[in-house]
Structure 1
Amino acid sequence: MNRRTKIAAVAFALLSGAGAAGAATASSPAPAEGVREAAALTGTAKLFRPAPADDDITFGFDAHLASEDRADPQAATGTFRWSHYTRGTGGYAVAKVDCLVTGGKVAVVTGVVFDTDVKELRKKRVGITVHDLGGQDRLGYSWVGRDTRAKVPPCLGSAPFETVRAGTGDFDVLPWEPPYRQ
C-alpha cells in the first residue's frame, strides 16, 4: 500500500467512528441576562458500537450563535471535538466552529480543525449533525462515503445515522429562530 493510501486509510479509520473527549470551552461570551442566544449545541456522548468492539468514540460540543448574530449562522463561535481510540491507539481532533444552524432538536455545526494528532486533518473543515432525542441522541459526520477528502462547505452535515451509547447522550440543541421580515 503506498504512503498516500495508508494516510487516507488511517484518517478514514480514525474518523469513521470518531468521537470527542469531553466538551471544549467556547470562546463566546455568555449572553446578557434575559437575552436568549440565537442557537446553541452543547454536550457530550459516546457512540454505540456492539460488543466485542473496543472502540472508545466520543464527541463533545460547545457551539453558540449570539442573539445579535441571529441572521448570520456563520457568526457562530465555540469549538467541538472528537476522539476515537481502540485498544490505546487512535486520535483526536478539535475544530473551531464556523457555522451553526439548528431547527427543532437537530443541529448542524461545521468547523475547521485546529488541534489534532492526525496531521491530515489539520485545517480541514468538517460537518457534524446532531439529533437531540433526550438520552437516545443520534449523530452524523461528513467524512463518510468513498471520497473522505471532499471539501465540506460551511453549514453542511450528514444525516444523523449513528446512535450514542445508552446513558451517555446529553446533547442539548437550542432551536434557531431566524429573523424573518413580516
Structure 2
Amino acid sequence: MNRRTKIVAVAAAVLLTLGAGGIAAASVDEAPAPAAARAAVSEAAALTGTAKLYRPAGDDITFTFDAHLAEKDRQDPMKATGTFRFSHYKGDWGGYAKVKVDCLTTGGKVAVVSGVVVETDVKEFKKARVGVTVHDDANGDRLGYTWMTADPKKDKVPPCISGAPFEKVKEGTGDFKVVPWEFVYPTE
C-alpha cells in the first residue's frame, strides 16, 4: 500500500472510531434517567380521561380531559395547560365545547379544572370560563360543573372554581386519572 492510501485508510479509521465513540457517548447521554431523576421532571398535577354521564332519559353527555401542571410550575396552578371537552346530545338537540385550561388543582383523587371556551356551537358558552370537578373513584367516578349554578352568559366564574362532583359517571365509561398535586409550603 502506498503512503497516500495508508494515510487515507488511517484517517478513515480514526473518523469512524471518533464517530462511533460520539454515537456511543450520545447514546449514554440519551439513556433513560434513573427513577429519582425521572420523578424530578414529572408533572405536579394532571387530569386525563373520558367518561359519559349517567342519565336515565338517554342523554349522551361526554367529558374528556387532558390537563397538566408541569413540575416547574408546581406553586402556580394557573400555569396549567391542556384542554377539556364536553358535549351533550339528545335526539337532534345538543352541542359541544372545547375549553383551553387556565387552572388545575388536585387533591388526592379529586381535581378541579377551569378554562375558557375556545370552540363551541352553543352561543351561551362562547368565551365563557367554566369549571369542572372530577372525583376519580374506584367505586364509580363522579363529576360536577359550574353551569349547574352559574349562567355562562352572565356569571363570571373565577379560575379554579367548580361545583361538587354530584353527577354519576355511566358504568363502564369512566377512565379518569388524577395525579395529586402537592403544594410545597415555605419553611421560612
Shared fold (TM-score greater than 0.5)?
yes
Task: Choose which of 148, 152, 157 in structure 2 pairs with 1:152.
Answer: 157
Unpaired segments of 5 or more residues in structure 2? 1-36
Residue equivalent to 2:119: 115
> Counterparts of 1:11-160 in structure 2 under 5 Å?
33-34=38-39, 35-50=41-56, 53-134=57-138, 136-145=140-149, 147=151, 149-160=154-165
The residue type equivalent to 1:127 in the other structure is G
SS in 1 for 2:157: coil
- Residue 9 of structure 1 aligns with which residue? none
The range that moved more, 107-116 or 85-94, is: 85-94
Partner-residue secondary structure (3-state), 2:113: strand
Distance 2:148 2:137 in 1: 22
How much has 1:179 moved relative to structure 2?
1.5
Q: CA RMSD in A?
A: 1.5
3-state secondary structure, aligned to 1:68: helix
Aligned residues: 149
Contact 1:97–1:112 under 8 Å retained in 2:
yes
In 1, distance between residues paired with 2:92 and 2:61?
A: 12
- Indicate the structure whose relative CO is greater, using CA pairs within 8 Å and at least 6 residues apart: 1
Matched, 1:167 2:172: yes
- Rounded to whole Å, the distance in 2 between the matches of 1:174 and 1:62 is 12
Contact 1:135 1:168 in 2 (8 A): no
TM-score, normalised relative to structure 1: 0.78
Tell me the amino acid that sits aligned with residue 176 of structure 2.
F
**As a proportion of its length, which structure holds more helix?**
2
What code does the residue aligned with 2:161 have? L
Deviation of residue 145 (structure 1)?
Answer: 2.8
The percent identity for this pair of structures is 67
TM-superposed deviation, 1:173: 0.4
**Which structure 1 residue ranges, 5 or more long, are not aligned?**
1-31
For the 8 Å contact 1:54–1:87, the answer to whether it is kept is no
1: CA distance, partners of 2:130 / 2:97: 10
Q: Which moved more, 1:66-75 or 1:127-136?
A: 127-136
Name the aligned partner's letter for residue 65 of structure 2: F
The structure whose Rg is larger is 2
SS at match of 2:162: coil
